[in-house]
Structures are given as structure tokens and as C-alpha cells.
Amino acid sequence: MGNSGEAQVVLRLNAITKTFGALTANDAVSLSLHKGEVIALLGENGAGKTTLMNILFGQYTADSGTVEVFGRELPPGNPRAALDAGVGMVHQHFTLADNMTVLENVILGTQSLWKPGLNRAVARDKINELAADFRLSVDPDARVGALTVGERQRVEILKALYRDARILILDEPTAVLTPQETDDLFETLRKAVALGLSVVFISHKLHEVMAISDRVLILRHGKMVAERNILDVDKHSLAALMVGAEVSAPKVEPGTPGSPLLSLRNVTTPDQGNAPGLKSLSLTLRAGTITGLAGVSGNGQAALADLIGGLTRPANGTLELDSADVGHWSPREAVHSGIARIPEDRHKTGTIADFNLTENAILETYHQPPMSRRGWMNWGEAQRATQHIIDTYDVRCPGPGTRIRLLSGGNMQKLILGRVLEAEPRIVLANQPVRGLDIGAVNYVHSELLSARKRGAAVLLISEDLDEIMALSDVIYVISEGRLSPGFARDSMTPAELGVWMAGHGFEAEQAHAS
């Protein structure tokens, strides 16, 4: 920014330090934000981005350092003060009441307790005005529970603007959006800065950072390691700054699709609360192929993963492995049939936090030789096998007796990879396999998936990250509301075209076509 010298500084963080026990989440971090500017806070998971913003917003108290908004210092640990000073935060996880309307959600907490009745007309006018100014189209009288994720995010932004926020903080706002919704969001942000607001954009997606921000600040291990004008950097140099080393993604060579291994035919499963089940879904996984499943989270991915993983059964339709019906199997049978399952949540379902590495490594195989015989555990063998996984998959840990809770996410995931891939599975079900991992671990997981493919395994890669899907998949499907799009060959679709399907369009035409 050439004019950053002249523009008013609206927000200043001075040497913020915050420790959690032995972990230093923020180490003397300073930054300043000018009027009409978008800065991006870039860093890997665990770099301290969210902690820093929580301190700014008063949800945490810093050990030392100060926060100044419009030249005035904020009292620490007081979210109210941050709100009153004009800071609005849009969290990664929305904080809306599903059973209330958009209007009610927006004015919630802004009306005096003592004034009887809500002045809805005035509020509605203000919301409509804001919506027009910032291109945030949303019906004020719609129930929030009925809105899409993108619309809910707009409500969150409206909420902040309604409270006269002059500084918007968005924490990983694009994680749940389709590419089109992301474009809409960026449009809104551009409107906002044009109207004199300032934006802090937190992300680890490089191309988005390049697209929206004026300046980028890079956090690594709690320290501010670099500050760059966006015109002076490219994606590659940003990645290197973020990780602190040169990184190279694994090379993807085109594969040759083999014979069908696992087929779903017109499978339907019941809805699980808010999460839709599968709606007459057909899908075939082929040997030597990575099948990518794109889609906004909560559109039936969990139902599909549970079905293939043996946790649920189809209510209708069939699931066939090698042309034999396997619709009524259990997780154990799924494993025996050669399915490697990398679960979505490695902390809650993938591992048992207070078990050590050995106990976690044998979770799927403990009941059979050589891990046990006639009900007696063979811990020596289990430990040898675990040590083998630790060596082969480069799990950084003090030893197989370490409680897995103490490992980083990447090392935890490597142990899970070792657990499921050591048996040379024919099918790999990878559900969000790199969520929350740093780039080094991401590349590692991807190269393991690719080598499984090379070995002839059928890989189903479920991810919300379209870049990941497009980089690895031989064939791409989109899931929306439990329905599946046709399969698209590699490189036959642009992100925008896939985004249309992710938003739920095209399925009707497809069905009409089919019938």
C-alpha cells in the first residue's frame, strides 16, 4: 500500500504475548491496520492466528501487550468493549440461533432490556439498507435454520455491520463456502473497504489471500515472521514463508483406471438430524483410481463414509464388493474386506487420546493373531508392529509407549495411516485426511494416497477443499443434499463449474435427463 503512511491507523496490536502452559501461542506479535485496508493473517494451523484474534476481541487476556482501536486502548478481557469500539468478528463456527429469523438474530443483544417491544420496522429498514450497501442479499424474515451456510455467513456479517463495526475480523471465512459464495464474500469485502471499513482476513488458503488482501502478515509458531505487500509476493513465496522452508507438493501422474471394486447402487440412508442421508446414490470405486468427492460440508459426506466404513447400513439399495452384496457389514468386516478407513475426526473417532501409540495402532487388529491368541494379548508383537509403523511412516514421538494425546495432528494422522495402510488395503476411504495439518504433513498424506493408488488400490477422497480434490483425483464427483453429480474426468471442469454443482444446481436437470 503506497498510501499506508497517510491512512489512519484504526487498529494496533502492540507486542501481544500469550502462553498456554508451556506453549507460547503468541510471542510479542505486533500489527497495525489502516482505514480501508484488507490485511491477511496467514499461517498454518496452530500458528496462533485465532488466539491473536481472540485476544483482540477480548475473549482471551494477553499476558502482555496492548490492543488499540482508533487510538484508544481496549481494556483486556472485555468483548463488550471491543464491540463498542467498532470491532466485529465473524467466527469460523457461526453463533446464530437457528430457530429465530434473520432479523431477530441480527438485533439480538442490541435492544435495551427495559424498552418494551422491539422496533422491528426501524431494524428492518437498517438491515435492508446495509444489505444493499454491502451486497449481502438475505431475506430478513427467513428462519436461520433454513438458510444455506453461505447465507448464514452473510447474517453474521450483517450482525457485525448492524452494530456499526468499522473493523471486520473474519476467521477462516471460506472454509465452508463454494467458490461462487467465496467470490460473493470477496465482493462484499471490497464494498466494505470502499466504504472505509477495514478487514482482517484469516486464512491458510494462499490464492484467496492473494485475491483479497492488500498486505499479508505471516505467523509461524506464534511469531510474526514476515510482513509483505501483496504485490511483492506470489503463492510459492508465501507458502515458503508460512512453512519456513521450500515445499513441494507430490507429483501426480495420470493413472489407468482398473476394474470396479466397490459399487453403490441407488443407496438411500436416513437423514441424521440436520445432516442429510444419501438419496438414491450410485457410485463405483475402481482399482488404481482416486475418486474425489467434493461438496460443502454436511451434505451427506458423513453418511457415505459411515456406509462404506461399515458403521451404517443402506435403508435401500445395495453395496457390493467384488459383485457380492455387503450391505450388512460391520466396521470389522469392512476392515477384513480390505478397506482402509481414515476417519474425518482423528481426535474423536480415529484415536483414543489416553491410549498409547501401541494401543492405538492395534485398534482394528487386536482381536486376531499375531496381536492376540485365544483372548490373550501379545503386547510384544503389538509393540514391534507399532515401532515398525513409527519407523516406516516417520511418526515423530518419544516411543510406542507415549500417550497419543501428546502427538501433533500430523503425527497422529501418520500413525492412523500406518495402522490402515500397513495391511495393503484394496480400498482406501480418506475422509478429510489433511484437515488441520501443516503443509509438510499434507504432502505426506497425499503422497501416501498416491502410492496406494499406484499399488492398485481404489481411493475415495472426501474433502471440502476443492484444490485438494482437483489436484489428486482421477475422477471427481460432487455431493449435495445427499445426491451425487455425474463423474467428471480430471481437468474437465473448472472450480467455478464444480462450484455450481456444490451449490446444489444441476441435479434436477440430471434427474430429468436420466428418467
Asked whether position 364 contacts other proteins by CB under 8 A, the answer is: yes
CA 510 to chain CA centroid, nearest Å? 29
Asked whether position 406 contacts other proteins by CB under 8 A, the answer is: yes
What's the grid cell of residue 289? 483410481
Report in angstroms how near the CB of residue 397 gets to other proteins at its nearest: 13
State how far the Cα of 329 lies from the Cα of 65, in Å rounded to an integer. Answer: 57
Report in angstroms how near the CB of residue 221 gets to other proteins at its nearest: 17
Q: For residue 478, give the nearest of 494, 455, 457, 456 by alpha carbon.
A: 494
**Which lies closer to other proteins via its Cβ, residue 3 or residue 349?**
349
**Which lies closer to other proteins via its Cβ, residue 204 or residue 419?**
419
Asked whether position 366 contacts other proteins by CB under 8 A, the answer is: yes
Q: For residue 165, give the nearest of 189, 185, 140, 132 by alpha carbon.
A: 189
Report in angstroms how near the CB of residue 61 gets to other proteins at its nearest: 6
> How long a stretch of residues is the chain?
515
For the chain, the farthest-separated pair of C-alpha atoms sits apart, in whole angstroms, at: 78
Of these, 8, 110, 330, 492, which contacts other proteins (CB under 8 A)? Answer: 330
**Which lies closer to other proteins via its Cβ, residue 344 or residue 464?**
344
Q: Which residue has the cell 510471542?
A: 27
Of these, 173, 295, 343, 436, which contacts other proteins (CB under 8 A)? Answer: 343
Question: Which residues are CB-contacts of 246 (< 8 A; sequence separation ≥ 6)?
Answer: 240
Of these, 8, 20, 75, 194, which contacts other proteins (CB under 8 A)? Answer: 20
Burial class (CB in 10 A: 0-12, 13-18, 19+), 306: buried
Asked whether position 399 contacts other proteins by CB under 8 A, the answer is: no
Q: Which stretch binds other proteins (CB under 8 A): 229-237, 351-359, 436-444, 490-498?
A: 351-359
**Which lies closer to other proteins via its Cβ, residue 185 or residue 429?**
429
What's the grid cell of residue 133? 450497501
* Binding positions for other proteins, 44-63, rule CB under 8 A: 61
Asked whether position 351 contacts other proteins by CB under 8 A, the answer is: yes
What's the grid cell of residue 427? 480400498
Of these, 108, 193, 352, 423, which contacts other proteins (CB under 8 A)? Answer: 352
State how far the Cα of 208 lies from the Cα of 466, in Å rounded to an integer. Answer: 13
Sign of CA dihedral 25, 27, 30, 31: negative
Of these, 310, 418, 425, 433, which contacts other proteins (CB under 8 A)? Answer: 310
Residue 6 phi, psi (nearest 5): -85, -35
State how far the Cα of 9 lies from the Cα of 339, in Å rounded to an integer. Answer: 56
**Which lies closer to other proteins via its Cβ, residue 105 or residue 365?**
365
Of these, 124, 355, 481, 490, which contacts other proteins (CB under 8 A)? Answer: 355
Burial class (CB in 10 A: 0-12, 13-18, 19+), 232: exposed
**Which lies closer to other proteins via its Cβ, residue 367 or residue 505?**
367
Asked whether position 332 contacts other proteins by CB under 8 A, the answer is: yes
State how far the Cα of 127 lies from the Cα of 133, in Å rounded to an integer. Answer: 10
Asked whether position 348 contacts other proteins by CB under 8 A, the answer is: yes
Q: Which stretch binds other proteins (CB under 8 A): 35-43, 162-170, 324-332, 458-466?
A: 324-332
**Which lies closer to other proteins via its Cβ, residue 188 or residue 351?**
351
Asked whether position 313 contacts other proteins by CB under 8 A, the answer is: no
State how far the Cα of 429 lies from the Cα of 431, in Å rounded to an integer. Answer: 6
The verdict on whether omega for the bond into residue 314 sits within 30 degrees of 0, i.e. cis, is no
* Binding positions for other proteins, 191-210, rule CB under 8 A: none
Of these, 236, 328, 367, 384, which contacts other proteins (CB under 8 A)? Answer: 367
> E strand or H helix at 171, and its extent?
strand 167-171
Report in angstroms how near the CB of residue 426 gets to other proteins at its nearest: 17
Asked whether position 335 contacts other proteins by CB under 8 A, the answer is: yes
State how far the Cα of 116 lies from the Cα of 103, in Å rounded to an integer. Answer: 17
CB 53 within 8 A of CB 217: no
Of these, 309, 418, 482, 499, which contacts other proteins (CB under 8 A)? Answer: 309
445: which DSSP letter? H
Report in angstroms how near the CB of residue 496 gets to other proteins at its nearest: 36
Sign of CA dihedral 57, 58, 63, 67: positive
Report in angstroms how near the CB of residue 380 gets to other proteins at its nearest: 12
Asked whether position 179 contacts other proteins by CB under 8 A, the answer is: no
Please give the torsion angle defined by the CA atoms of residues 173, 178, 182 and 185, in that order, rounded to the nearest 10 degrees: -80
State how far the Cα of 35 lies from the Cα of 10, in Å rounded to an integer. Answer: 6
Report in angstroms how near the CB of residue 404 gets to other proteins at its nearest: 11
CB 214 within 8 A of CB 35: no
Report in angstroms how near the CB of residue 16 gets to other proteins at its nearest: 16
Asked whether position 235 contacts other proteins by CB under 8 A, the answer is: no
Report in angstroms how near the CB of residue 349 gets to other proteins at its nearest: 4
State how far the Cα of 210 lies from the Cα of 239, in Å rounded to an integer. Answer: 12
**Which lies closer to other proteins via its Cβ, residue 161 or residue 305?**
305
Interface map 72-101 toward other proteins (x if CB under 8 A)? -----x------------------------
- Interface with other proteins by CB under 8 A: which residues? 20-22, 61, 77, 309-311, 330-332, 334-335, 341, 343, 348-355, 359, 363-364, 366-367, 372, 375-377, 379, 405-406
